[in-house]
Structure formats: C-alpha cells, structure tokens
Chain A
Amino acid sequence: QKEVEQDPGPLSVPEGAIVSLNCTYSNSAFQYFMWYRQYSRKGPELLMYTYSSGNKEDGRFTAQVDKSSKYISLFIRDSQPSDSATYLCAMGDGNNRLAFGKGNQVVVIP
C-alpha cells in the first residue's frame, strides 16, 4: 500500500461548480498536510498548508484534514477556468521529506 493515495482520474467541471479533491494516507506519523497546484510545465505552487484536523479557508479554497480517518480534502468554490491545473496533495512527518499523491488533473470548462 502506498503511503499516499490520490485518485489521479481527470476531473472536468463547469465554471462556477465546486471542485472536491481528496487523498488518503496510511502513515500515522504524518502531521503536516499541503496542497500544491501545478500548471502544465511549471513547478508546484503551495496552495494550502495545515497541521491540525479541521478546516482551513483561504479565499475560494478550503483544506480539510481528518487525522482519525487519515483523509484530507481540498474544496474549490466558484471554480474558474484559471483553476485548471493538476492538484497534488503532500504530507510530512517533520523529517524534511514529503510524500506526494499522484495528482488530480482538474479542467474547469467555461
């Protein structure tokens, strides 16, 4: 079993819809959780960072962590065509190394 599971299936949504992405993990030592956005042929850009269970909001983005279920989510409200990208979840245990999910390609259709 991989440390981080992220269903890599592409996701197409109409503009204005809510995008829902999630990852599961198996390592209880993970304490830090991140979502990165990666545009085609660019480096990953840190979107959200959290280290506690619960929700964290930043504009149209909400990151949700449930440590008891080992499950994290990212919600994008009022999605825009500019949100079309690959979204990678990542998590760490404080030892300077991150485990990444495979990424979800999101396409927002105008």
Chain B
Amino acid sequence: DAMVIQNPRYQVTQFGKPVTLSCSQTLNHNVMYWYQQKSSQAPKLLFHYYDKDFNNEADTPDNFQSRRPNTSFCFLDIRSPGLGDAAMYLCATSSVSYNEQFFGPGTRLTVL
C-alpha cells in the first residue's frame, strides 16, 4: 500500500541535544510537509517542499531545519530542542494536482 512512513514513532532527547526525525513516502508526491502538533491543538505548518523548493513559514523558529535529499525522503532537524518543542511531529504529502494531504503516523518527541 502506498503510504507515508515516519521514524521513529517515539523519540526522547535531552534539552539541547540535536535530533533528526525522518519521513518517507511511496506515493510519489511532489509536495512534502512538516507539521508540529501540540495537545488539543491543530497541526501547525513548519515548512514544506515543493519538489526541491523549500518554503519556510514565517514563524518557524530557526531551531528547526529540514532536508529533502530526494522525492521519497524528508528530514526534520531540531538543532537544540527546548522543553517547548515537545510535541507530535507530523509529515504529510500531497500531489501538486490535488489538495488533499496524506499524513504519516507522527513522531512523538519528548524533551527531558
């Protein structure tokens, strides 16, 4: 089945210790997104890639970076996680022709 896969599902890191979350997709979609979702809140878009073009949201902290080495993979790097970065991180994809976004299962990040 075509899908969006995120690894790891759960990540525990220490305050200030860099962490990388990964996302892969078999849908062959042009667009990949990273969202942050905190408890009882809507997903908040951090950035997205349209093919190789990177689009950062204006209010995304510099602490968050992303890489998309190829169509299938996208990474979220948090350079110096703070306690406020503890959240669910969601990867999503969409085709350029359609607007539905398909989400992965998420990575729950805990910062100690």
**Interface residue ranges, A against B (CB under 8 Å):** 8, 32, 34, 36, 41-46, 49, 51, 88, 90, 92, 94, 96-98, 100-103, 105
Contacts and interface: CB of A to CB of B under 8 A. Distances in A.
B42 A43 contact: no
Contacts of B6: 43
Interface in B53-100: 55, 88, 90, 94, 96, 99-100
Contacts, number: 57
Contacts of B50: 96
A36 B103 CA distance: 10
A97 B48 contact: yes
- 4 tightest A-B CB contacts, nearest first: A100-B42, A43-B103, A32-B99, A92-B99
B48 A43 contact: no
A82 B106 CA distance: 20
A71 B38 CA distance: 26
B20 interface: no
Q: Which of B48, B96, B105, B108 has the most CB of A within 10 A?
A: B105
Contacts of B101: 34, 46, 90, 98
Contact of A103 (B40, B55, B96, B100): B40
Contacts of A41: 88, 106, 108
A42 B42 contact: no
Nearest to B91: A43
B96 A101 contact: no
B95 to A, nearest CB: 10
B84 to A, nearest CB: 19
28 contacts: A34-B99, A34-B100, A34-B101, A41-B88, A41-B106, A42-B106, A43-B103, A44-B43, A44-B90, A44-B103, A45-B103, A46-B100, A46-B102, A49-B100, A88-B42, A88-B43, A94-B99, A96-B48, A96-B96, A96-B99, A97-B45, A98-B45, A98-B99, A102-B42, A103-B40, A103-B41, A103-B42, A105-B40
